[in-house]
Amino acid sequence: MSLVFYDLAGADRARRFSPYCWRIRMALAHKQLAVDDRPWCFTEKDAIGFTGQGLVPVIVDRGRSVHDSWEIARYLEATYPDRPSLFGGAEAPIRLVASWAERVVYPQIGRMIIADILAVLDEKDKAYFRESREKRFGMSLEEAQADRDQRLPAFHQSLEPIRAVLAGYPWLGGERPNYADYAVFGAFQWARCTSAYRLLAEDDPILGWRNRVRDLFGGLAAKAPAFD
Ligand SMILES: N[C@@H](CCC(=O)N[C@@H](CS)C(=O)NCC(=O)O)C(=O)O
């Protein structure tokens, strides 16, 4: 039986846009696992109620469910040791990369695309998304996104750690891509699947890396509905 994967989807069910789900979609491809894909909307909490929480990604494999992207990555690495490694024996440093991405990269990108995300959602999710995110930001989605041009320079500056790695290696995983790449890439894929806003300059090496990750696994991420 294939592994079941609950993945956040928009009005167009083919538009998958969660940064955390993209981490796992890439990790599943890396592990060469067949996936029974379940598109999921924000307000379909009942469908994942069996996990005791309300967030995706969720996987069900070998009779057990796992949620939280990091826990899923660890589960895949432990359960499929004969498949290409996600951590390359360096779990703790990769946890650092994933954690840095969540705390530094994801929030900045989220703030720059939050109103654009609304437009790709299923109608039934829109009120929930607006209300929950406006509460989080303490302002309207449109206000949160309005100053994104002013935010870009600080965002670019905060990405220096990525450029430092790419100056010496093609991937954040070094000579080969691994979960470090997918953990950061999730945020850029989230943006390209929901917004036409250009986050990266044409000459930024991070854009070249993003495109290399996008094109992995036969263009898994490249083929997804997106704005570039
Ligand atoms: N720490 C979790 C975060 C997962 C998360 O925030 N997922 C979002 C989608 S990107 C979600 O399911 N949100 C549901 C909601 O806001 O109701 C992970 O790493 O998987």
Q: Structural domain boundaries of the chain?
A: 3-79, 91-219
Beta-bridge partner residues of 16: 9
Which CATH number applies to 91-219: 2.40.50.140, 1.20.1600.10, 1.20.1050.10, 3.30.56.10?
1.20.1050.10
Q: Which atom in ligand 1 lies closest to the alpha carbon of residue 57? A: 20
Alpha helices per DSSP H over 45-105:
69-79, 91-100
pLDDT at 71: 98
Distance 19 CA to ligand 1 centre (A): 9
- The count of other CB atoms within 10 Å of the CB of residue 89 is 8
How high is the pLDDT of residue 1?
78
Ligand 1 site residues, Cβ closer than 6 angstroms: 8, 18-20, 42, 54-57, 68-70, 132
Pocket test for ligand 1, best of 56, 72, 120 (most atoms within 8 A of CB): 56
* Average confidence (pLDDT) over 160-166: 98
pLDDT for res 196: 98
Residues sharing a CB contact under 8 Å with residue 201, sequence separation 6 or more, in sequence order: 156, 207
CATH no., domain 3-79: 3.40.30.10
pLDDT digits (tens, 9 = 90+) for 190-217: 999 999 999 999 999 999 999 999 999 9
Ligand 1 geometric centre to CA of 55 (Å): 4
What pLDDT does 112 receive? 98
